[in-house]
Amino acid sequence: MLNFSKINILFIYFLLIFISIFSFLNFQNENDQLIKKKINLGLDLQGGSYLLLEINSDSLVKEKIQSKVIPIKKLLKDNQINYKNFKINEKNLSLSIDNIEKFDLLFNSRKDNLVNPYIDNYRSYELEYKKIDNFRIEISFSKFGLLTINNSALKQSIEIVRRRIDDVGTKEPTILQRGEKRILVELPGLKDPERIKSLLGKTAQLNFRLVSDNKEFGTDELTSENGVKLNVSKRIIMSGENLIDAQPSIQNQNNEPTVSFTLDRLGAQKFGRATTDNVGKRLAIVLDGEIVSAPNINEPITSGNGMISGNFTFQEATDLALLLRSGALPTPLIVVEERTVGPDLGEDSIKSGVKSLIVGFILVILFMLYKYKIFGLIANTALIANLLMLIGVLTILEATLTLPGIAGIILTVGMAVDANVLIFERIREELKTEKSIIHAFDSGYKRAKITVLDANITTLIAAIILFAFGSGPVKGFAITLGIGIITTLFTAYFLARHLTSLVVLNTKNKEIKI
């Protein structure tokens, strides 16, 4: 165990130096770095905001099933199937029909089926029906239909969230899908996420509808900006999809902040026609089911430009313009988890983390020197190499360092010496029975090997499980702990062993104390 071939030695020191070099990249100025690799600081260290958003697809399912009502009724009428008791429920439609066989044929036909399209990806129809009795059926989305709705809503939401956050202009945001319903947003350096939260909390579904004088069929009663209830036609003249731009502006007449918008060609046509036909009536601008304002149509607007006023502050006008530019979210987003750390707390955490690392490190080094003298020096050299390699590997992986991650490094310092302690203690025992010092060292390393492996694998198992199940900062702990074990094994079994062999082989036959 004490003989090293030249290739072995070359390999050990090459790997050691190669990996350790990376650790120094973290202390360099970013601009004159050749290799742009660095350990990222977690949000708990650099400050920032972590948000976990969840889409609510229930409301979407309700909306979508309602949109199926007219096509289904048309299908039945066109094919002379009589129906009665058509009911619209939260998640399904129920009705009685006189010819289920015929309906089944139409409903599950693959050709030109606009009512119930076939989803090729999942080999399944969007809708399914089940018989309640001989005449009554219940139509709902199939498992894969629901999945499709959910997935497209999630994808669309991620896109809109990205646009809104980019528009606000925070640095290096992370926006990722998490599971089936969630979006993870990380905003480094952001001190107050309230504005972003309120921007993400609004779906921003905008539409223009005429105000109706009486409460006739086909109107909704909506509340306007000054609390007055107005009857608004259900018919949508134009919606936010037709907007190509929106900007905040100040109206010259009374210095009021407003949002001016530009419509696409189709939108301009629709808007032009509606305003021409309805001069003198009031046009309600409805955002997320509330009337923002309901101005009078004084003259036809055919230019495709318009303006929304509604007693905004300039900030509100800016935010509304941003929301309209970025498009509407398919469903409201709920913040299900939020963690925000201010930059000063992050700095404090780094300071105290580094301080405890240095103190812990010095204490361990002094203790080892006291316990093992010259071999303590070897163990300490291995420990320093270990630390450099650990930081080097973290840099190569561009891992995220968190406060628990720093704790993991300190803990590694405390536990890393264990491998060398196990070996040295074993050698001590071997020296008692073995006459040849070299043999004693040799068999000490040999015999301790399995124990060292066994002992470290158990901690490695714990680290891997923690990595798989932990979230956020705790994951950072699992990373440093896990990598620390591997670098520990390397430094104890290769570096320290080689250093030991140098000491032992150069003091032949003389007394060696350990």
Partner 1 sequence: MTNYNFSSKFKHANIFSIVLFFISIIFIIFKGLNYGIDFKGGTLIELRSNNIEASSIRDVLKTMDLGDVNVKKFGKEGDFIIKVEQKGDNNELIPKIKNNLSNSLNSDVNFRRVENVGPKVSAELLQSGIIAISLSLAAMLFYIWVRFEWQFSIGSIIALFHDVIITLGIFSLLSLEINLSIIAAVLTIVGYSMNDTVVIYDRIRENLGKFHKLDISDTANLSINETLARTIITSVTTLLALFSIFILGGEILRGFSFAMILGVIIGTYSSIFVASPILKYFKVSYKTIEKEEEKIVP
CB atoms within 10 A of CB 469: 10
Rule CB under 8 A: is residue 175 a binding residue for partner 1? no
Report, in Å, the least distance between residue 252 CB and partner 1: 33
Angstrom distance (rounded) from CA 175 to CA 185: 5
Return the residue of 160, 378, 401, 466 that touches partner 1, per CB under 8 A.
466
85-124 positions binding partner 1, by CB under 8 A = none
Report, in Å, the least distance between residue 466 CB and partner 1: 5
- Residue 220 vs 425, nearer CB to partner 1: 425
245-274 positions binding partner 1, by CB under 8 A = none
Helix or strand (DSSP H, E) at 339:
strand 333-341
Report, in Å, the least distance between residue 257 CB and partner 1: 22
Angstrom distance (rounded) from CA 501 to CA 55: 62
- Residue 37 vs 202, nearer CB to partner 1: 202
Whether the CB-CB separation of 230 and 193 falls below 8 Å is answered with no
- CA 69 to chain centroid, in Å, comes to 37
Rule CB under 8 A: is residue 170 a binding residue for partner 1? no
Rule CB under 8 A: is residue 22 a binding residue for partner 1? no
- CA 385 to chain centroid, in Å, comes to 35
189-208 positions binding partner 1, by CB under 8 A = 194, 197-198, 201
Q: Describe the chain by its helix, strand, coil percentages, rounded to 5.
A: 55, 20, 25
- Residue 56 vs 96, nearer CB to partner 1: 56
Report, in Å, the least distance between residue 339 CB and partner 1: 5
Report, in Å, the least distance between residue 449 CB and partner 1: 11
Return the residue of 19, 388, 413, 504 that touches partner 1, per CB under 8 A.
413
Rule CB under 8 A: is residue 429 a binding residue for partner 1? yes
Rule CB under 8 A: is residue 418 a binding residue for partner 1? yes
Number of residues that bind partner 1 (CB under 8 A): 72
Tell the residue number behind the tokens 């105290």, with chain if given: 352
Angstrom distance (rounded) from CA 486 to CA 489: 5
Q: Running DSSP on this structure, what letter comes out for residue 42?
A: P
Whether the CB-CB separation of 487 and 506 falls below 8 Å is answered with no
Whether the CB-CB separation of 39 and 388 falls below 8 Å is answered with no
Report, in Å, the least distance between residue 42 CB and partner 1: 12
Rule CB under 8 A: is residue 434 a binding residue for partner 1? no
Where does residue 137 rank: exposed (0-12), middle (13-18), buried (19+ CB within 10 A)? buried
Return the residue of 356, 373, 397, 505 that touches partner 1, per CB under 8 A.
356
Tell the residue number behind the tokens 């972590």, with chain if given: 50
295-354 positions binding partner 1, by CB under 8 A = 334-342, 344-345, 348-349, 352-353
Rule CB under 8 A: is residue 275 a binding residue for partner 1? no
Return the closest-CA partner of residue 159 out of 288, 330, 359. Answer: 330
**H-helix segments, 185-286:** 194-201, 265-277
CA torsion 321-322-323-329 (nearest 10°) is 150
Return the residue of 105, 469, 505, 507 that touches partner 1, per CB under 8 A.
469
Return the residue of 17, 21, 236, 359 that touches partner 1, per CB under 8 A.
359
Angstrom distance (rounded) from CA 224 to CA 408: 57
Rule CB under 8 A: is residue 178 a binding residue for partner 1? no
Return the residue of 19, 328, 407, 437 that touches partner 1, per CB under 8 A.
407
φ, ψ dihedrals at 337, nearest 5°: -155, 135
- Residue 477 vs 493, nearer CB to partner 1: 477
- CA 342 to chain centroid, in Å, comes to 20
Return the residue of 70, 465, 502, 505 that touches partner 1, per CB under 8 A.
465
- CA 377 to chain centroid, in Å, comes to 45
Token pair, residue 480, equals 């440093």
Return the residue of 415, 438, 486, 512 that touches partner 1, per CB under 8 A.
415
Angstrom distance (rounded) from CA 122 to CA 470: 32
Binding mask 475-514 for partner 1 (x = CB under 8 A): --xx--x---------------------------------
Return the residue of 417, 492, 499, 514 that touches partner 1, per CB under 8 A.
417
- CA 444 to chain centroid, in Å, comes to 49
Helix or strand (DSSP H, E) at 186:
strand 182-188
Report, in Å, the least distance between residue 373 CB and partner 1: 14
Rule CB under 8 A: is residue 45 a binding residue for partner 1? no
Stretch of 233-241, 281-289, 303-311, 425-433 contacting partner 1, by CB under 8 A: 425-433
Return the residue of 2, 119, 438, 455 that touches partner 1, per CB under 8 A.
455
- Residue 277 vs 290, nearer CB to partner 1: 290
50-69 positions binding partner 1, by CB under 8 A = 52, 54
How does strand 238-239 pair with strand 229-233?
unpaired
Give the three-state DSSP class for 221: strand
Stretch of 104-112, 314-322, 323-331, 366-374 contacting partner 1, by CB under 8 A: 366-374
* Spatial CB neighbours of 355, under 8 Å, sequence gap ≥ 6: none
